[in-house]
C-alpha cells in the first residue's frame, strides 16, 4: 500500500522563507512544524492505495486537468483551523489565484470520484500548513505580530501538480514524487 496525496509544489526558496515563520512564533508550544522541504499546497489526500491503482489515478487526473491552464497565486495571511482562538493547524492562506486553485482541486476531485475516492465534505480552503499543534492553543496574538507581506509579493507559478507518496517515519513524514502532471490548457 502507498500513502498518496496530490499537491502543488512550492519553490525551494519560498519553502525556506516560510519556515522562518517558526522563528517568529517561539511562544507556540507543542507544535510539529512542517519541514521546509515538505511545505506544499495539498489538493487531495488519497490515503492508502494499492500500487496497482496508481496508473489509473495518474491517467484519470491527467485527463481531468489536460485543459487546465497554468496560472499563478500568491500567499498571504496567517490563520488556524478550526479557529485562531482554538488552533490545531497553523497555516498561510492565499491572496490571489485562489479561484484557480479551487477549480484545479475540483478537477482532481471529479477525476478521483469514479475511482472510489470520497469527495471532501467541507469546502476546499486553499492553504499551506505550517505546523500542527498537539493541543488547542490561542494563536490570535502570535498571528497578529507576524507580517506576511514578504510572502505575498511573490507569485507562485503552477504549471503542474504532483502525485506524492508519503512515508511515515519516526522522525516525520518523507515525501517522494511519483509523477508531475502538467497543466496544458
Q: Is 125 a catalytic residue?
A: no
Q: ∠ at Cα 183 (59, 180), nearest 5°?
A: 60
- Give exposure, 94-109, as e/b (b: 16+ Cβ within 10 Å): beebbebbbebbebbb
- Helix axis angle for 54-64 and 98-112, nearest 10°, is 130
Whole-angstrom distance, CA of residue 38 vs CA of residue 34: 6
Catalytic residue among 87, 104, 127, 139: 127
Residue 27: CB atoms within 10 Å: 10
Question: Phi and psi for 61 in degrees, rounded to 5?
Answer: -70, -40
Catalytic residue among 6, 28, 40, 64: 40
Handedness of CA 52, 180, 120, 41 (dihedral sign): positive
- Residues identified as active-site: 40, 127
Amino acid at each position: 500500500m502507498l500513502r498518496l496525496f496530490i499537491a502543488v509544489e512550492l519553490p525551494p526558496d519560498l519553502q525556506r522563507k516560510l519556515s522562518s515563520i517558526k522563528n517568529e512564533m517561539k511562544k507556540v508550544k507543542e507544535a510539529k512544524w512542517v519541514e521546509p522541504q515538505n511545505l506544499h499546497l495539498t489538493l487531495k489526500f488519497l490515503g492508502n492505495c494499492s500500487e496497482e491503482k496508481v496508473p489509473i489515478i495518474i491517467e484519470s487526473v491527467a485527463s481531468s486537468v489536460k485543459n487546465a491552464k497554468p496560472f499563478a497565486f500568491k500567499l498571504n495571511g496567517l490563520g488556524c483551523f478550526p479557529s485562531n482562538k482554538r488552533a490545531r493547524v497553523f497555516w498561510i492562506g492565499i491572496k490571489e489565484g485562489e479561484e484557480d486553485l479551487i477549480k484545479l482541486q475540483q478537477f482532481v476531485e471529479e477525476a478521483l470520484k469514479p475511482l472510489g475516492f470520497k469527495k471532501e465534505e467541507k469546502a476546499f480552503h486553499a492553504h499551506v500548513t505550517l505546523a500542527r499543534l498537539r493541543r488547542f492553543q490561542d494563536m490570535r496574538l502570535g498571528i497578529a505580530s507576524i507580517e506576511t507581506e514578504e510572502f505575498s509579493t511573490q507569485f507562485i507559478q503552477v504549471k503542474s501538480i504532483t502525485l506524492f507518496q508519503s512515508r511515515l517515519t519516526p522522525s516525520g513524514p518523507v515525501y517522494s514524487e511519483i509523477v508531475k502532471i502538467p497543466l496544458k490548457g
